[in-house]
Structure 1
C-alpha cells in the first residue's frame, strides 16, 4: 500500500480522474485528493471525499484550516504525488516553483516522487512554453506520461487527450514497482523495549520508544516486503499496512520465541528492539509489599538469552541479519566487538548518550562483516536512516 496524493486540476478530463482515484483504491493504496478551484467546475469535492474518506484540500484559508497547516501535513504524508489531469497552467506552476493555491503549495512542499499526466488542447501541448516546462519537470526527476492521440473536447482528433484511467493506473503501478526492491522478500523487524516482570505490577524496562524499528518496518513495507514487526513496549503509533503483520512480544523470552519462529521462513532480520540484558531469576506471583522498616530491596537477576547471537548462528547463507549497538561510550570499539561476537552481517551503531530515545533524528555508524570500511552517516531523520538501511539490506539480498 502506498500513500498517494492525487492532484486534480481544471481540465475537462477531471471527470475521468475520478476513476483513476477509484482504481488506485482498488489496488489497495491510500488516496487523498487535492483540487484546484478550477477543477471543481467539472467534479465536486463531495464526490472525491466520499470515495477516499478524506476531506478534499482545496483552500488553505478555510476556517477549519486556520489553526493548522494542512498542506505541510499532506506533503509529509504523501509517498507519491500524482497530478491528473495536469493542465498547461499547473505544469507551468510546477516547473517554475509557483505556489499560489492549495494544490501548487502542497506539491511544492512534498518530497514524494511526482507523476504528471498532461491533458490539454494540441496547440497548448505543442506550444514552446509548455514543451519547455515539461522538459524542466523531467530534468527535475518528475515522471511525465505522454498524452494520447484521440478526440479532443474541441471536436477533432489530435494529441493532447488524457490517456484512459486503466492506462494511467498501470503506469503508476509500473513506476511504484520499480521501487519495490524487496518485492517477494520477508523481513522481520523488532522494535521497542522489552519488559521483564518483577511481580504482577512492576517490571524492569528501558527508554526505547520503538521509533527506529517502526520506521524500518514502514520502509521495508514500502519497498514491497512482507514485514513481520515484532514489538515490545513502544510509545509511538504502530504502522497500519496490509503487508505488515504486528506481533506483540512483551518480554525477552517472548521476543526470542517470536523471532526464531518468524525467521525460519524470513529473508532478513533487523534487531532494532532494545532487549533487556537481565530478568528476574524468579517472578513474584504477588505484588511485593513495601515494609515501612525496609530501606533497601535486593533483586536476583539472571542474564537473558542473546537473541541476535542465537538467531545469527543458525542463519542460512541467503539470509541477512542486522543488529543494533546502542552505546554510551567507546562506540566504534564496542560495535566492532559486537559485530565479531554476534555473527551478524551488519551492525548499526549509535550513541544513545545524546538524547536519542524518542527523538526523530539520530546519527549512526554502519559496520559490516568482511568490510574494513566504517560507514559513518550524518545526523538525519530516523525515517531517512531506515530508508538507507533497507537499500543496504536489499543489496545484500541480491
Structure 2
C-alpha cells in the first residue's frame, strides 16, 4: 500500500491545482510522505504554504533555491522518491516531459528520477484531444509512464467532456492498487532478439533486410515494465535502447547465434523476433571489390537456424517465434510451430497496409502449441507486445512453469 511510501507530487498550472491540495492530504492520511513541487503557473492558483501545511514537508518551486549547499536539490528529490505523481498534469508539462525539456524544478526533477511516474492529465476537452497532446501522451506511455485518465464532466472553461482531473480519492485508490499489485513477470528472465543481421561481402557491401527492430524493442520494453530481467540481442538499428534492458549489439547471424545460445539456459521466456539472414556469402573479401565488366555471382551458404536449435535444446523455456507471411497465415504458422518445437508463433500479415517491416503497427495472428488462436487487428507494436507477453504468462501459469 502507500504506508511509508515517499511520493513526490508535481503540481502544474491549471485550475485543478486546488484538487492537488486535497490529494496531498489524502496521500498523507494513507501513510505516505509527500514532497510537493510546484510550477510557477501552479502558484497562481494555490499558494505553496497550503501544500507545506498539508504535507508538513518543504515545497519546491525554484531549481536554483538550494537550501543545502551539500546537495543538488532536484537530484536529491528525484533520488528520494519511491514514486512520482503529476496532478494536475497540463498539456505544457506533458509536452515538456515528452520532449525531454528541463527548464524548471518540476521538469528537471522528472528527467532525473528513476521512480515510476504517474500522470493525471487535466485540461480543456479540445486540448486533450489535440493531435500534439495525444502524440506526447502516446510517447510517454511507450516509455513506461503510467496515466490516470481524466474524468468526464463540467470543466472550468464551461465545456462538458473529458479533461477533468480525476478525484483525489480515486487517484489514491489507483496508486494503492498499482503499488500493491505484483508485476506479472517479476523474477522472470526474458531473452528477445530484434532487428536485422548483416552478412558481409567486402568492407563496403553486405546483405541485409529492412527490419527496423521496432517489434523486438517494444517487446523488450514491455517485458521490463512487467518486472522481467530482460536481455535484448539486437542487430544494427536506429532505435534508442529500452530503459532498464541489457542490450547486446551484434552484426551477423553467427554473432546472434553465439549470444543467444550463451544466455539461453537461464531464460524463462525467449522471443525470437529478429529478421536473421538465412544465407551469407560463402567467400568474403577484406578489400573492396572493384567493378568489372559483365555479371557477378555471389555463392551463398546457409546460416545456422537459431530458432530450430532453440526448439531442439528447449527445457523449461517458453519459446516464441515470429513469421512474416502474405497468405495462408494459419497453415504456415502451424507448420513453423510444429517443425521448430515452439510454444507459440506470431504471424505478421505483411500484405496488410501498415503491417510489417518499418511500420509503427502490426496485424498478427498468435497460435500456441496448446491450440489457442488469437487474431490481433492492426494495432501499435507496443500494444501487440503486451498482448503477446500476457498470452505467454497465461499459458505458463496454467502449466505451473
- Alignment-derived partner of residue 46 in structure 2: none
1:320 to 309, 318, 321: 318
Instruction: Look up the SS of the partner of 2:319 in the other structure.
Output: strand
1:46 matched to 2:104: yes
- Alignment-derived partner of residue 265 in structure 2: 264
1:17 matched to 2:6: no
2:123 and 2:163 in contact (8 A); partners too: no
Trace 1:174-253 onto structure 2 (pairs within 5 A). Answer: 175-176=178-179, 178=181, 180-239=183-242, 241-242=243-244, 244-253=245-254
2-side partners of 1:188 and 1:279: how far apart?
Answer: 25
Instruction: Look up the SS of the partner of 2:151 in the other structure.
Output: helix
Trace 1:238-317 onto structure 2 (pairs within 5 A). Answer: 238-239=241-242, 241-242=243-244, 244-291=245-292, 294-317=293-316
1:145 to 172, 197, 209: 172
Deviation (angstroms), 1:51? 2.1
2-side partners of 1:381 and 1:26: how far apart?
Answer: 34
Instruction: Look up the SS of the partner of 1:216 in the other structure.
Output: helix
TM superposition score normalised by structure 1: 0.67
2-side partners of 1:303 and 1:99: how far apart?
Answer: 66
TM superposition score normalised by structure 2: 0.67
2:193 and 2:272 in contact (8 A); partners too: yes
1:33 and 1:48 in contact (8 A); partners too: no
2-side partners of 1:250 and 1:195: how far apart?
Answer: 6
2:153 and 2:164 in contact (8 A); partners too: no
Gaps of 5+ in 1: 38-44, 84-92, 109-113, 119-142, 147-170
1-side partners of 2:132 and 2:268: how far apart?
Answer: 39
- Alignment-derived partner of residue 369 in structure 2: 369
1:332 matched to 2:330: yes
- Alignment-derived partner of residue 135 in structure 1: none
1:80 to 129, 146, 158: 146
- Alignment-derived partner of residue 96 in structure 2: none
Trace 1:84-123 onto structure 2 (pairs within 5 A). Answer: 94-96=151-153, 98=155, 100=157, 117-118=168-169
- Alignment-derived partner of residue 90 in structure 1: none
1-side partners of 2:231 and 2:164: how far apart?
Answer: 33
1:320 and 1:396 in contact (8 A); partners too: no
Deviation (angstroms), 1:208? 0.8
Deviation (angstroms), 1:50? 3.7
C-alpha offsets along residues 267-320 of structure 1, whole Å, 9 cap, x if unaligned? Answer: 1100000001101112112111101xx221101100111101111211113x10
Instruction: Look up the SS of the partner of 1:313 in the other structure.
Output: helix
1:229 and 1:247 in contact (8 A); partners too: yes
Instruction: Look up the SS of the partner of 2:219 in the other structure.
Output: helix
The range that moved more, 251-260 or 230-239, is 230-239
Gaps of 5+ in 2: 1-7, 25-33, 38-56, 60-73, 92-102, 113-118
Deviation (angstroms), 1:352? 2.0
2-side partners of 1:99 and 1:179: how far apart?
Answer: 38
- Alignment-derived partner of residue 165 in structure 1: none
1:72 and 1:106 in contact (8 A); partners too: no
2-side partners of 1:28 and 1:255: how far apart?
Answer: 37
How many residues in Structure 1 have an aligned counterpart in Structure 2? 311
Trace 1:359-398 onto structure 2 (pairs within 5 A). Answer: 359-371=359-371, 373-398=372-397
Instruction: Look up the SS of the partner of 1:258 in the other structure.
Output: helix
Give the direction of change, closer, same or farther, for the CA distance of 1:392–1:174 in structure 2 (3 Å limit).
same
Deviation (angstroms), 1:262? 1.6
C-alpha offsets along residues 45-85 of structure 1, whole Å, 9 cap, x if unaligned? Answer: 9332342248x999999xxx9xx9653344221431369xx
Deviation (angstroms), 1:7? 5.4
C-alpha offsets along residues 231-262 of structure 1, whole Å, 9 cap, x if unaligned? Answer: 113243332x12x0111111110001111112
Aligned-residue RMSD, C-alpha: 3.8
Give the direction of change, closer, same or farther, for the CA distance of 1:12–1:387 in structure 2 (3 Å limit).
closer
2-side partners of 1:309 and 1:350: how far apart?
Answer: 19
1-side partners of 2:334 and 2:90: how far apart?
Answer: 55
Give the direction of change, closer, same or farther, for the CA distance of 1:378–1:82 in structure 2 (3 Å limit).
closer
